[in-house]
Structure 1
């Protein structure tokens, strides 16, 4: 008599590291395989000697995010352009769904964003109460002598800084 264990396939967001400047190609290769992926892009004005042009650049260089279950990890690693998963304490790290949703919300917002690898000090927790970032939770920091909101991506070791008006935030 055999006992069959039911396996629950839980999907999580995992950050993956790509080859330098291969984020878009790796993203396309993953989606061609049917793997749900997210590549945060932002518009940037590039200057060449003869012209200027708006281009979409990866917001976090050499990173993208995949929404997979553990059994699909090998398939991700066999994708052209993908180097490795990100590890924390010896285990492949995953990211909370909320952080990915907040990142998507930030990328769709009209606010000027800045990414930094500085280890900024934790401050007062706040929630945005109005505008396109309504409901986002973050911290207030003093950064370059201005008050700004920070969304800390702990598992990546970086933070996203965005300017928001003081009248649209509440203490959390």
Structure 2
């Protein structure tokens, strides 16, 4: 069944082809989001700040099911991500939360999650205000985990415990 409903879908790219696939999708007029982080790379003679994909080999497309084939026929795109036998979609709020996280200068750490569900919390102040996340303890530090549903990833951020309340 072909729907005309637009949703965010994660797509898997060929290795190190995220930016090329993003550019190609942009040229096709497909709304695409590639979360990038700044990283310092060290060479033998210099250091340089470069932007690289936050989640390697992933980017997000905002399409209807009519555009599945067009996305798959794009250079650099390998496949859609499936969850429980269906093409996974990402809630728009999670895409907005991801954009908010990357707009700050927060120290982000991407972790693949094999994390036991903790207490859900609401961030009440600071740059992540309004975000619902899960609280876990890592190396005796309190951190907040924002799960990216249907993808098997979570983002680990630092924020003050004074800024959270049970949800």
Q: TM-score range by the shorter chain?
A: over 0.9
Deviations 1:4-48 (A, max 9, x none): xxx862100000000000000000100110000000000001100
Runs (4+) off by over 3 Å = none
Whole-angstrom CA distance in 1 between matches of 2:116 and 2:105: 26
Larger Rg over CA atoms: 1
1:136-147 maps to which residues of 2 (within 5 A)?
Answer: 136-147=131-142
2:34 is the alignment partner of 1:39 = yes
Cα pair 2:3 2:64 within 8 Å, conserved: no
Matches within 5 A, 1:69-84: 69-84=64-79
Compute the displacement of 1:91 (Å): 1.0
TM-score by length of 1: 0.93
Give the 3-state SS of the residue equivalent to 1:120 in structure 2: coil
What CA distance in whole angstroms lies between the structure 2 residues aligned with 1:129 and 1:109?
16
Per-residue CA deviations over 1:32-78 (Å, capped at 9, x if unaligned) read 10000000000001100000010001000000000000000100000
Deviation at residue 93 of structure 1 after TM alignment? 0.8
- Match status 1:123 vs 2:118: yes
Q: Alignment RMSD, CA only? A: 1.1
Paired position in structure 2 for 1:134: 129
The reply to whether residue 89 of structure 1 matches residue 45 of structure 2 is no
**CA offsets per residue over residues 105-139 of structure 1, 9 Å max, x none?**
11112210011113111111111111221101101
Q: Give the whole-Å Cα distance in 2 for the aligned partners of 1:128 and 1:110.
A: 17
- Alignment: residue pair count: 166
User: Where does residue 110 of structure 1 map in the other structure?
Assistant: 105
Equivalent residues of 2:12, 2:77 under 8 A apart: yes
1:97 CA displacement: 0.8
The residue that corresponds to 1:154 in the other structure is 149
Report the Cα offset of residue 144 of structure 1. Answer: 2.1
> Is 1:15–2:10 an aligned residue pair?
yes
Which segments of 5 or more consecutive residues in structure 1 lack a partner in the other structure? 1-6
CA deviation profile, 1:117-170 (whole Å, cap 9, x unmatched): 131111111111112211011011011221100011121111110010111112
CA contact (8 A) 2:3 2:65 kept: no
